[in-house]
C-alpha cells in the first residue's frame, strides 16, 4: 500500500472519525456488501455532517489524493473504496425528516432506503426505493434506482427534488429545478461522480398498502414465460410492477422467477390475477408499507422456502 503520511492530518476532521490502516476497526469499517472486495484505502473519513465532507474533499484535493464515496456499501464492484486513497464514508449520516404537508422527505447522504421508508410510513407515505432496505438511498438514486413502486411512481431518480452537493473543488452547492438545474439533471441517474450528495429531498406519495409476491418457474419454461410477460405487461396498469429475472436457489437448480409487487389500490377487474401457468412455488405478502428489508426481503424468504419447502404453494 502506498504510504499517505499526511492522512493522519485528517484527524482534525471537525466531528467525524478518521480510520487509518493501523486502527483496530479498519477492517470492519472497510467491509462492503460484496465481501470479495479487498481494497485498502489510506484512510476512511467517517463524516458526521456536510462540513466534514467539505473538509475531507478540500484536504484530498490539496494533497492530490484519490477520493471514493461510500454510502450503504452495496455497489457490487466495490467502487465505494479506493486503494491508497481517502474514502468519504457517509454511513453515519442517516438522518431523515418528513414533511407530510408538502409530501417531501429530506435525508442525509448516508441514509438507507429503509431509513426513509420507516420514517415516511408513519404518515402513510412512501417513494420508490429498491427491494432491499439496507441499500444506500443516494447510491440507488445516482444509479437511477428501480423498485416495487417504479411502475406507478417512476425511478428513484425521478422522485429526487433537490440536493446539496459538495463538488470536487470543495464547495457546498444547492441544486434543484431552479438552482444549478444541470447538476440536478446529472444526479438523476448519471452516476456518482458529480460530487458528494450530503442531503437529498424526495417526493413522497400516499401508499397505504402494498401486495407483493414471488412466482418461481423452472428454467426450462423461461422462454414461454418471458414471452407471456412481454405481452401481458404492455396492457398492465401502472400500479403493477413486475421484475422478471433469473435466480439460482440455494441447494437447487437455476430457476427463472417473476417478482410481483402490486400497489393494492389496483382494481380486481384489471385482470392482474391472470397467470402464465402454475408456478413451482409462490408466496405473497400484504404490507401497510412498501419496505422490504434484509430480514423480510423476498430473497430471504424465498431462499428459506426454496431450501426447505420449494414445491409447496404458500396460499
Ligand atoms: C442486495 C442488493 C440489492 C439491490 N437492489 C437494487 C434494487 O432493487 N434496485 C436498484 O436499482 N438497485 C439495486 N441494487 C444496486 C444498488 O442500488 C447500487 O449498487 C447502489 O449504487 C448502491 O448504493 P450504496 O450507497 O448502497 O453503495 P456504495 O457502494 O456505498 O456506493 C456506490 C456508489 O454510489 C455513489 N454514492 C453513494 N453515496 C453517495 C453520496 N452520498 N454522494 C455521492 N455519491 C454517492 C458512489 O459513487 C459510490 O461509489 C442492489 C444491490 C444489492 C447489493
> What is the length of the chain?
315
Q: Are 310 and 257 in contact (CB under 8 A)?
A: no
| pLDDT at position 126 over 50 | yes
The enclosing domain of 169 has a CATH number of 3.30.465.10
Q: Is 306 a residue whose pLDDT tops 70?
A: no
CA of 139 to the centre of ligand 1 (A): 4
What's the pLDDT band for 106 if we cut at 50, 70, 90? very high
314, part of any domain: no
Q: What is the 3-state secondary structure (H, E, C) of 4-51?
A: CHHHHHHHHCCCCEEECCCCCCHHHHCCCCCCCCCCCCCEEEECCCHH
Q: Which of 150-164, 174-188, 262-276 has the lowest mean pLDDT?
A: 262-276
Please indicate, yes or no, if residue 315 is contained in any of the structural domains: no
pLDDT (0 to 100) of residue 87:
97
Handedness of CA 174, 129, 232, 274 (dihedral sign): negative
Residue at a domain's end among 206, 241, 262: 206
Closest C-alpha among 16, 81, 94, 61 to residue 166: 61
Pocket test for ligand 1, best of 76, 135, 144 (most atoms within 8 A of CB): 135
d(CA 18, CA 44): 6
> Quick check: CB of 165 below 6 Å from ligand 1?
no
Question: Is the pLDDT higher at 186 or at 280?
Answer: 186
How many angstroms is it from 251 CA to the middle of ligand 1?
A: 28
Give the domain extent around 253. 210-309
Query: Are 215 and 273 part of one and the same domain?
Result: yes
Same domain, yes or no: 195 and 246: no
75 and 139 belong to one structural domain: no
Percent of the chain with pLDDT over 90: 56
Distance (Å, whole) CA 305 – CA 308: 5
CA atoms within 13 A on the CB side of 249: 25
Which of 190, 206, 222 delimits the end of a domain?
A: 206
In this prediction, residue 153 carries a pLDDT of: 94
4-27 burial: b if 16+ Cβ within 10 Å, else e: beebeebeebeebbbbebeeeebe
**Given a cut of 50, is residue 271 above it in pLDDT?**
no
Residues 201 and 231 in one domain: no
**Cell output for 308:** 426447505
Domain final position from 150, 185, 206: 206
Q: Which residues contact 46 (CB under 8 A, 6 or more apart)?
A: 16, 17, 18, 19, 29, 89, 91, 92
CATH number, domain with residue 34: 3.30.43.10
Burial class (CB in 10 A: 0-12, 13-18, 19+), 142: buried
Return the CA Rg of the chain.
21
Instruction: Tally the domains of the chain.
Output: 3
Does a structural domain hold residue 188? yes
78 CB near ligand 1 (under 6 Å): no
Q: Which residues of 226-252 are buried (b: 16+ CB within 10 A; e: fewer)?
A: bebbeebeeebeebbbbbbeebebeee
Burial class (CB in 10 A: 0-12, 13-18, 19+), 268: exposed
With a cut of 80, say whether residue 2 has pLDDT above it: no
| Angle (nearest 5°) at CA 199 between 195 and 203 | 115
Average pLDDT over residues 284-288: 54
The whole-number pLDDT of residue 70 equals 97
Cell output for 260: 410481483
72 CB near ligand 1 (under 6 Å): yes
Same domain, 218 and 285: yes
Ligand 1 within 6 A of CB of 85: no
The conformational region for residue 195 under phi > 0 = left, psi -120 to 50 = alpha, else beta, is left
Q: Are residues 47 and 31 in the same domain?
A: yes
Amino acid at each position: 500500500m502506498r504510504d499517505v503520511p499526511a492522512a493522519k492530518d485528517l484527524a482534525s476532521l471537525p466531528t467525524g472519525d478518521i480510520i487509518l490502516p493501523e486502527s483496530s476497526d479498519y477492517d470492519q469499517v472497510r467491509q462492503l456488501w460484496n465481501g470479495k472486495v479487498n481494497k485498502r484505502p489510506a484512510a476512511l473519513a467517517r463524516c458526521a455532517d456536510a462540513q466534514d465532507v467539505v473538509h475531507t474533499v478540500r484536504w484530498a484535493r490539496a494533497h492530490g489524493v484519490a477520493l471514493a464515496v461510500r454510502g450503504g456499501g452495496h455497489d457490487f464492484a466495490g467502487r465505494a473504496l479506493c486503494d491508497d486513497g481517502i474514502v468519504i464514508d457517509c454511513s453515519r449520516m442517516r438522518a431523515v425528516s418528513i414533511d407530510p404537508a408538502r409530501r417531501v422527505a429530506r435525508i442525509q447522504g448516508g441514509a438507507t432506503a429503509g431509513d426513509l421508508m420507516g420514517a415516511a410510513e408513519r404518515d402513510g407515505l412512501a417513494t420508490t426505493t429498491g427491494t432491499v432496505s439496507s441499500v444506500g438511498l443516494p447510491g440507488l438514486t445516482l444509479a437511477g434506482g428501480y423498485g416495487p413502486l417504479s411502475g406507478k411512481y417512476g425511478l428513484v431518480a425521478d422522485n429526487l427534488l433537490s440536493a446539496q452537493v459538495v463538488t470536487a473543488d470543495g464547495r457546498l452547492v444547492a441544486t434543484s429545478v431552479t438552482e444549478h438545474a444541470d447538476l440536478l439533471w446529472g444526479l438523476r441517474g448519471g452516476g456518482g461522480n458529480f460530487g458528494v450528495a450530503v442531503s437529498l429531498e424526495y417526493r413522497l406519495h400516499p401508499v397505504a398498502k402494498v401486495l407483493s409476491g414471488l412466482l418461481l418457474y423452472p428454467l426450462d419454461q423461461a422462454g414461454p414465460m418471458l414471452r407471456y410477460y412481454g405481452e401481458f405487461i404492455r396492457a398492465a396498469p401502472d400500479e403493477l410492477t413486475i421484475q422478471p429475472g433469473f435466480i439460482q436457489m440455494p441447494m437447487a437448480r437455476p430457476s427463472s422467477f417473476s417478482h410481483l409487487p402490486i400497489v393494492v389500490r389496483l382494481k380486481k377487474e384489471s385482470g392482474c390475477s391472470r397467470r402464465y401457468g402454475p408456478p413451482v412455488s409462490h408466496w405473497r405478502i400484504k404490507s401497510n408499507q412498501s419496505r422490504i428489508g434484509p430480514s423480510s426481503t423476498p430473497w430471504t424468504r424465498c431462499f428459506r422456502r426454496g431450501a426447505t419447502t420449494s414445491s409447496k404453494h404458500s396460499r
